[in-house]
Amino acid sequence: MLLKAQHLSAKRGDAVLFQGVGFELSQGHWLQVKGQNGAGKTTLLRMVCGLFSPVPNYVEDEQPSQDAKTEIWWKNTPLSKACEEFHQDLIFLGHALGLKEELSALENLLFLATLHGQALSRSNALSALQAMGLKGREHLPTRVLSQGQRRRVALSRLMVQEARLWVLDEPFVALDSKGIDLLLGLIQRHLFEGGALLFTSHQNVNFTAPGDVLELHA
């Protein structure tokens, strides 16, 4: 088991987004998080990545039992004790792509690799960008690229950064059919090689690898 979560809950103001959510994710498996707008899909993904704190699983101010404790595990170790290893093995791509507009696509990819402590040669970065359909745009400032092209720059990380877990929030948004096919191919290979995928998408996607759907309800 790579990733496990139990009794995750979140609120926005006084409104409960979701409550008591749990799941397990193994090597070579995917999990799609679905739900209506505002159901907390992005919040759940950010919570798993440690960017958002879960609401304690309290009921009427009573302490929960040990079995009802809010917890996330990475490789059967509580995330609080495996945080460094977990983040070294994680790629999270959210709505904010994490790109610097003044840098070129190539510079952004090299910067992101350095930020995550991974060596990436200029030639390998160029090859990844070209494979993602950005040939001829590698040296342009990111600010002049279309939204779809910016997303392709961010998704190029999937080709050059080693990570067992991909957490992708609406990864197909702004991609044309060719871009979607490229991304689907990357995901299929990732799963085939024993990686895992946690993602949200309004699109219906089919993978040959085993997976499941988690529907969020407040």
- What residue type is assigned to position 143 of the chain? R
Q: What is the pLDDT of residue 57?
A: 57
Minimum mean pLDDT among 27-31, 49-53, 190-194, 198-202: which range? 49-53
What is the distance between the alpha carbons of residues 171 and 199, in angstroms, rounded to a whole number?
Answer: 8
Q: How confident is the model at residue 120 (pLDDT cuts 50, 70, 90)?
A: very high
pTM for the complete prediction?
A: 0.92
- What's the distance, CA 177 to chain centroid? 21
Q: Are 156 and 109 in contact (CB under 8 A)?
A: yes
User: Residue 105: which of 128, 77, 84 has the closest Cα?
Assistant: 128
Q: Are 32 and 41 spatial neighbours (Cβ–Cβ below 8 Å)?
A: no
pLDDT tens-place string over residues 28-56: 999 999 999 999 999 999 999 988 877 76
- Predicted pLDDT of residue 67: 53
**DSSP label at 162?**
-
Task: Please tell me the distance from the alpha carbon of residue 114 to that of residue 123, in angstroms, as a whole number.
Answer: 15
SS3 204: coil
Cα(6)–Cα(11) distance, integer angstroms: 16
Q: Angle of helix 105-115 relative to helix 147-155, nearest 10 degrees?
A: 40
User: Residue 56: its pLDDT value, please?
Assistant: 64
Which residue would you say has higher pLDDT here, 157 or 58? 157
Would strands 90-93 and 77-78 be described as parallel, antiparallel, or unpaired? Answer: unpaired
The more confidently predicted of residues 129 and 65 is 129
Lowest mean pLDDT among 68-82, 129-143, 191-205: 68-82
Evaluate if residue 186 carries a pLDDT over 60.
yes
**The residue to which tokens 């948004």 are assigned:** 173
pLDDT of residue 58: 46
**What is the pLDDT, as a whole number, of residue 116?**
85
Q: What is the residue whose two structure tokens read 């990475």?
A: 74
